[in-house]
Amino acid sequence: MDHLEYEERMNQWAMIKDALFNEQIDQFRAEFLDMHPYDQAKIFEAVEDEVRLQIYTYLSPEEVADVMEHIDYDEIEPFFTEMDPRFAAQVFAEMSTDDAVDILNELDKNKVASFLTIMDNDSADEIKDLLHYEEKTAGSIMTTEFVVVKASMTIKEAMGHLRKEAPDAETIYYTYVIDEEKQLVGVISLRDLIISEEDWMISDVMSERVVSVSVGEDQEEIARMMRDYDFLALPVVDFQQHLLGIITVDDIMDVMEEEASDDYSKLAAISDVDSPDDHAFTSAKKRLPWLIILLFLGSFTASLIGRFEATLDQVAVLAIFIPLIAGMAGNTGTQALAVAVRGIATGEIYKQGKMKMVFREAGTGLITGVSCGALITLIVYFWQGNIYLGLLVGLSIMAALVVATLAGSLVPLVMHRFNIDPAVASGPFITTINDIISILIYFGMATAFMGLLI
């Protein structure tokens, strides 16, 4: 946002506050509803609790629903908690079913039951149908607010049906076609409906090459499909090809953000991404489990160095290069890890083949290892005046980089093979493992070189 746009928004918000505090309802509504729902949501998040309570009295449940759909679901619970329960239930009833389900999944189960009890039966039934699907599957993110036409309809009949049902549908750019048994048989675009003759049959105009997903499909795989096919919507079916709902591109954008955030947190060895509003105790609780695991691994590394105490006593200069070798191994392992996790997440690894990626990373590790090893050999030789020490450090770095690169690429693949999220092979985890490997390589070679070093 540039400076002029920021100033304009601040001026608009100043006028809204004046109207709000002076109880000028008509002026407040005119100014507030003129804003985009996203900007309205930013105002909701920024103002004090008592100001929001006053805003609720000036807006309808439908208008508040538009605002709530633009607030981060992880931070939305306080807004529904502060609302009057009956008003909150009406807000849920006015929201898109899939958005309402996403928000209700973030709330306490007792509150969910209370809202569903107060809500009108039709809206409550639609929401209940989606709530029972497992989280992060197609069923949990699909919407049931869509338009279908029958293959036996004419274009004229379909257009009449579309005009009637479109106001309640989330999107009409694609219209899905079902047969008499409600099985998905095709899809027709809005463009094709408009340009076709009224007496043509839907079955003659529709495309039978319709791509669909199972109701139990993982949301990450669905996001990949929508990216690859450039779809605006994707139909969701059961095992008998009955059309259950659709997933729209705006839902997939939320999924992609959620998955990216989730992978980032795992790569940073955090169970969940910290929120700026988190209490220090909450943030510590998220980070401690991995840190405790890494603490034990680090202790193992320290004990490993202790086993080579005799080697260090004889050639104390070896201690200087421990951080260098361990650091280089950790860095190259993390680079290989990032490539592997990204390849798995985007599906690119299946196109090029797993072994091809592993061999490529091994080649990369060998080239970088030889280059860095040769360079450090010369540096150590001119610095310490000992060619054997230089060769030891150089060969250790070369071997450590090759092994660390292989570990960084293989660990995520093995975890993925056993249906474990490869992102949990986090940067700190791989770094610690590679510390252990590099220490073993370094001191193992130092012991072998001992006769030349003394």
Q: What is the pLDDT of residues 204-238, one digit of tens each?
A: 999 998 999 999 898 888 888 888 888 888 999 99
Residues near 40 by beta carbon (within 8 Å), at least 6 away in sequence: 32, 66, 67, 70
Strands 243-248 and 184-189: unpaired
Estimate to the nearest angstrom the gap between the alpha carbon of 74 and the chain centroid: 13
Looking at CATH, the fold of the domain delimited by 36-132 is given as MgtE N-terminal fold (1.25.60)
Highest mean pLDDT among 86-95, 105-114, 253-262, 336-345: 86-95
CA–CA gap between residue 216 and residue 405 (Å, rounded): 36
> What pLDDT is stored for residue 78 in this prediction?
86
Quick check: 316 pLDDT over 80? Answer: no
Q: Average model confidence (pLDDT) for the chain?
A: 81
Task: Return the domain boundaries, the chain.
Answer: 36-132, 148-249, 280-453
CA–CA gap between residue 316 and residue 51 (Å, rounded): 68
Tens-place pLDDT, residues 245-261? 998 888 888 777 666 65
pTM equals 0.57
Are 311 and 443 within 8 A, CB to CB? yes
Quick check: 374 pLDDT over 80? Answer: yes
Confidence of residue 354 (pLDDT cuts 50, 70, 90): confident
Ranges 199-203, 286-290, 374-378: which has the least confidence: 286-290
Report which of residues 272 and 182 the model is more confident about.
182
Confidence of residue 359 (pLDDT cuts 50, 70, 90): confident
Residue 172 burial by CB count (10 A; 0-12/13-18/19+): exposed, middle or buried? middle
Mean pLDDT, to the nearest integer, of 281-305?
A: 69
Residues near 53 by beta carbon (within 8 Å), at least 6 away in sequence: 82
Quick check: 360 pLDDT over 60? Answer: yes
> What pLDDT is stored for residue 313 in this prediction?
66
> What pLDDT is stored for residue 35 in this prediction?
84
Confidence of residue 279 (pLDDT cuts 50, 70, 90): low
> What pLDDT is stored for residue 428 in this prediction?
67
Residues near 377 by beta carbon (within 8 Å), at least 6 away in sequence: 390, 391, 393, 394
CA–CA gap between residue 43 and residue 30 (Å, rounded): 15
The correct CATH number of 148-249 out of 3.30.43.10, 3.10.580.10, 3.40.50.150, 3.40.50.300 is 3.10.580.10
Tens-place pLDDT, residues 187-202? 998 899 999 999 999 9
By residue count, the chain amounts to: 454
Q: What is the CATH number of domain 280-453?
A: 1.10.357.20
Residues near 250 by beta carbon (within 8 Å), at least 6 away in sequence: none
Quick check: 437 pLDDT over 90? Answer: no
Tens-place pLDDT, residues 36-46? 888 888 888 87
Q: φ and ψ at 287, to 5 degrees?
A: -90, -25
Quick check: 264 pLDDT over 60? Answer: no
Report which of residues 394 and 48 the model is more confident about.
394
Which residue in 361, 377, 367, 363 sits closest to 325, CA to CA?
Answer: 377
Confidence of residue 343 (pLDDT cuts 50, 70, 90): confident
Confidence of residue 445 (pLDDT cuts 50, 70, 90): confident
Quick check: 157 pLDDT over 90? Answer: yes
> What pLDDT is stored for residue 153 in this prediction?
94
Which residue in 95, 68, 127, 70 sits closest to 253, CA to CA?
Answer: 70
Could you tell me the sign of the dihedral formed by the alpha carbons of 158, 215, 140, 276, in that order? Answer: negative
> What pLDDT is stored for residue 427 in this prediction?
61
Mean pLDDT, to the nearest integer, of 316-325?
A: 80
> What pLDDT is stored for residue 337 in this prediction?
80
Quick check: 356 pLDDT over 70? Answer: yes
Report which of residues 444 and 303 the model is more confident about.
444
CA–CA gap between residue 394 and residue 376 (Å, rounded): 6
Identical fold for domains 148-249 and 280-453, yes or no, is: no
Both structure tokens of 368: 């970088």
